[in-house]
């Protein structure tokens, strides 16, 4: 999108954008991958080395499919820009650690070939490719996608269900008992020594990565803050024992909310362009997540809520169109 090779033509009057800087797709993508690395590496400590293979298969197959599709479409091969690699990594981080090895590859195929290139390639996809891949796997192999392993290492060995699963099926009291006490539970959720998808467990490392991206100005802080905040407030208000009895801290750290809010809901391609639009997007995604978690059939709803909001992104963009310079509101 942005290139620096135009310096010799600097006096040409061309189409916008006119402001150029040294950002490039590759730089952004590789930075996001670096931001995800600590949480990905932690998962190996949490679940064992097997997840590293899953992550590598996810990334490798995504890059391979990107290469093949671009070859077939006779486009420039852009596997070096890291976008396929990032999609594969995000996809693999949303899968359970015990998943069979071929499933991340199938997911990458769906993410890259169907969700990305069939829509026109990078920048044209309507839905977040990684989440489409996950949703397709979820529909195709519901059993494999919801089988959770015991953690191999780590301080506490949690039962074979994820915290949100326990909450959904056995209630809040049982959830606390599983972890021992409420502070123990918060600690496990914060540090990531709990069960769940490969990359979603460690709240602290994901926050560090997300904070790094906000510091580099690759993502707007409003999106994750609004999304996580909405989930927190709504789960607190609509608690199990009446109004204002919920456990917002648990809901904010459990499941894939943190990775979803920082790394999926901030994907530049599939969310609205303006800050106002992005806030609406994050708000909607938060509300839908809470709806699915508290009332829906699935224990977790981050993936589907972001995909649903992706589908109305063009609509949001239309509603929050900034007024053109020089015009006041009434002159629209």
Partner 1 sequence: MKNLWDIFKKGLIVENPIFVLALSLCPALAVTASAITALTMGLSVMFVITANNVVVSLTRKLVNPKVRVPVYITSIATIVTLVQLLLQAFAPELYKALGIYLALIVVFAIILARAEVFASKNSVIPSFFDGLGMGAGFTLALLLIGCVRELLGAGSIFGIPVIGDWYDPALIMILPAGGFILIGYLVGGFKMLTEYMEKAEAKKGDR
Q: Residues interacting with partner 1, by CB under 8 A? A: 100, 106, 114, 118, 136, 139-142, 144
Residue whose CB is less far from partner 1, 114 or 280? 114
Q: How is residue 69 written in tokens?
A: 């599709």
Q: How far is the CB of 151 from partner 1 (least distance, A)?
A: 25
- State whether residue 40 is helix, strand or coil: helix
Q: How far is the CB of 252 from partner 1 (least distance, A)?
A: 31
Count of positions (residues) in the chain: 332
Distance CA 205, CA 185 (A): 17
Residue whose CB is less far from partner 1, 55 or 110? 110
Q: What's the gap between Cα 184 and its chain centre?
A: 26
Q: How far is the CB of 44 from partner 1 (least distance, A)?
A: 25
Q: How is residue 151 written in tokens?
A: 């953690």
Residue 92 backbone phi and psi in degrees, to 5: -65, -30
Distance CA 274, CA 317 (A): 7
Question: Would you say 87 and 115 are in contact if contact means Cβ atoms under 8 Å apart?
Answer: no
Residue whose CB is less far from partner 1, 124 or 215? 124
243: enclosing H helix or E strand? strand 242-243
Residue whose CB is less far from partner 1, 108 or 235? 108
Q: How far is the CB of 275 from partner 1 (least distance, A)?
A: 33
Residue whose CB is less far from partner 1, 45 or 141? 141
Residue whose CB is less far from partner 1, 141 or 298? 141
Residue 188 backbone phi and psi in degrees, to 5: -60, -40
Give whole-number Cα distances, 233 to 244, 276, 281, 302, in Å: 9, 20, 17, 16
Q: How far is the CB of 76 from partner 1 (least distance, A)?
A: 21
Distance CA 274, CA 108 (A): 29
Q: How far is the CB of 2 from partner 1 (least distance, A)?
A: 32
Q: How far is the CB of 142 from partner 1 (least distance, A)?
A: 7
Q: How many CA atoms lie within 13 A of 67 on its CB side?
A: 9
Residue whose CB is less far from partner 1, 142 or 171? 142
Q: How is residue 26 written in tokens?
A: 């590759």
């Amino acid at each position: 999108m942005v290139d620096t090779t135009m310096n010799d033509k600097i006096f040409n009057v061309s189409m916008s954008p006119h402001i150029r800087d040294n950002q490039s797709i590759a730089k952004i993508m590789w930075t996001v991958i670096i931001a995800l690395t600590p949480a990905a590496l932690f998962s190996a400590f949490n679940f064992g080395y097997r997840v590293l293979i899953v992550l590598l298969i996810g990334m490798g197959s995504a890059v391979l499919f990107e290469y093949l599709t671009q070859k077939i479409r006779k486009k420039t091969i852009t596997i070096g820009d890291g976008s396929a690699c990032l999609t594969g990594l995000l996809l693999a981080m949303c899968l359970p650690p015990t998943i069979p090895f071929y499933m991340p590859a199938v997911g990458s195929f769906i993410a890259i070939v169907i969700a990305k290139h069939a829509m026109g390639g990078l920048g044209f996809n309507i839905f977040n490719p990684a989440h489409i891949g996950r949703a397709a796997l979820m529909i195709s192999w519901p059993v494999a996608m919801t089988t959770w392993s015991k953690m191999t290492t780590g301080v506490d060995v949690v039962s074979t269900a994820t915290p949100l699963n326990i909450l959904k099926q056995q209630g809040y009291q049982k959830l606390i008992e599983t972890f021992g006490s409420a502070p123990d539970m918060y600690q496990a959720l914060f540090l990531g020594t709990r069960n769940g998808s490969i990359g979603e467990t460690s709240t602290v490392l994901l926050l560090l990565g997300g904070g790094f991206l906000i510091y580099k100005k690759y993502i707007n802080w409003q999106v994750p803050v609004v999304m996580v905040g909405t989930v927190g407030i709504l789960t607190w208000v609509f608690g199990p024992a009446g109004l204002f009895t919920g456990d917002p801290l648990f809901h904010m750290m459990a499941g894939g909310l943190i990775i979803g809010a920082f790394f999926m809901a901030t994907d530049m391609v599939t969310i609205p362009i303006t800050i106002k639009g992005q806030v609406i997007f994050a708000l909607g995604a938060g509300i839908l997540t809470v709806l699915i978690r508290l009332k829906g059939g699935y224990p977790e709803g981050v993936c589907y809520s972001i995909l649903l909001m992706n589908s109305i992104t063009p609509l949001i963009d239309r509603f929050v169109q900034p007024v053109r310079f020089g015009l006041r509101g009434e002159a629209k």
